[in-house]
Amino acid sequence: MAMYSDVLMTPLEQYFNKLEPTDDPPWEKKPYRKAIWRGSTTGVWFGRDTRWRSSQRVRLQWLAQGRGGTRPVRYVERDTAMGAERMVERVVDTKKLARRHLDIAFSGEMSQCVEDDGSCDAGNEIIDFRDGSGLDWPTQQKYRYQIDVDGSTSVPKWAR
């Protein structure tokens, strides 16, 4: 049955027979050297009795907001005078790091939330929503990295 994950398969709405070569620019010519993700607030029930702040989609969005202060980052630095490369480590502000490497946001509006306990309002305050229901395929192909984070459209039985 489709509602069980005994047999894993690509959802039909994500299946393409063939991509035209023009749909996906060569790696070197992709204008955005970032990771992109857009999605809805599905995948967790937003309520006082759930740990929705720990859900994978909310945590991904918080990561993209750079809420962690600073972090040590290692990268290759080129010494132009010597013509050599070396590994260096610097402490970097996570907001700058996230802005440089991530384009992550929720699309649409809050769903699967409890109005009465304030969870919908809390989600709206915390979550970064962008216009539209996501980005079309040709736009996403301009990014070097695309993140896939599962969600769902079902509501738990206890919440109905």
> What span, in angstroms and rounded, lies between the C-alpha atoms of 34 and 19?
22
Could you tell me which residues are beta bridge partners of residue 47?
none
pLDDT tens digit sequence for 16-42: 666 555 678 899 999 999 999 988 888
pTM: predicted TM-score of the whole model, two decimal places: 0.71
pLDDT tens digit sequence for 81-119: 878 898 999 999 999 999 999 999 998 889 899 999 999
State which H helix or E strand residue 143 sits in. Answer: strand 143-146
Tokens coding 84? 């050599």
Phi-psi region of 15 (alpha: psi -120 to 50; beta: other; left: phi over 0): beta
Domain ranges of the chain: 30-151
3-state secondary structure of 95: helix
> What span, in angstroms and rounded, lies between the C-alpha atoms of 110 and 77?
43
